[in-house]
Chain A
């Protein structure tokens, strides 16, 4: 059974960096599939943040690309999100998820999800 668990600070100050880690169990992050992040602002819809292939290729939401880094640590079987210069607009529940991919090489659907972690940006 594939399981994912987000962890990290739940409160981040404006202009600082939001860092989250997704620990994966039941599947190796280097074995296949992509790994991605999705967020949901309070009362809003889902927003794709970005995805990382098992080979290390990144795909980022253009609206976040300049502030975003997604990386992987295969030795710990986890992947991470780093979002710089945060504002109140980045307050959201952040989900990590296993990410399918198209034959053409881009990210597709999400099948297994973490429970989500609410991150609030506030001074």
Chain B
């Protein structure tokens, strides 16, 4: 079965840059979506179609792609950015939704 791979945890200091990656064979052909999830809350969509940001999401959140790896970058990390981050995409056939295992960002 198709999988998306994320590192389990990333630690960064306040104000620094955080990079969270998601890798998968089909990513050159399928969009990635990023979600932020805080404890006890539902996930929130923060990046869609690889690098587009909803208007209500702070500009410090951005997405980029390079082949089979997609990266979520948080510039100038704030304390409130401490959360779990999940990537979502689809298998190459576009039939199944797949989530990455999630990355816990510690500030």
Which residues of A come within 8 Å of B, CB atoms? 36, 38, 45-48, 51, 59, 61-63, 95, 99, 102, 104-111, 113-116
19 contacts between A and B (CB under 8 A): A36-B97, A38-B99, A45-B101, A45-B102, A46-B99, A48-B98, A59-B95, A59-B96, A59-B97, A62-B1, A99-B97, A108-B33, A108-B90, A109-B45, A109-B48, A109-B88, A110-B88, A114-B42, A115-B42
Which residues of A sit under 8 angstroms from B102, Cβ to Cβ? 45-46
Alpha-carbon distance between A111 and B34 when the two chains are bound, in angstroms: 11
Alpha-carbon distance between A108 and B48 when the two chains are bound, in angstroms: 10
Which residues of A sit under 8 angstroms from B95, Cβ to Cβ? 59, 106
Alpha-carbon distance between A46 and B22 when the two chains are bound, in angstroms: 14
Which residues of B sit under 8 angstroms from A108, Cβ to Cβ? 31, 33, 90, 97
Which residues of B come within 8 Å of A, CB atoms? 1, 31, 33, 35, 37, 42-45, 48, 86, 88, 90, 93-102
Alpha-carbon distance between A108 and B88 when the two chains are bound, in angstroms: 8
A102 & B42 in contact (Cβ 8 Å cutoff): no
B96 & A48 in contact (Cβ 8 Å cutoff): yes
A107 & B42 in contact (Cβ 8 Å cutoff): no
Given contacts A63-B1, A102-B90, 5 further A-B contacts (CB under 8 A): A51-B97, A59-B97, A95-B42, A108-B90, A109-B48
Kindly provide the distance from the CB of A66 to the nearest chain B CB, expressed in whole angstroms: 15
Which residues of A sit under 8 angstroms from B99, Cβ to Cβ? 38, 45-48
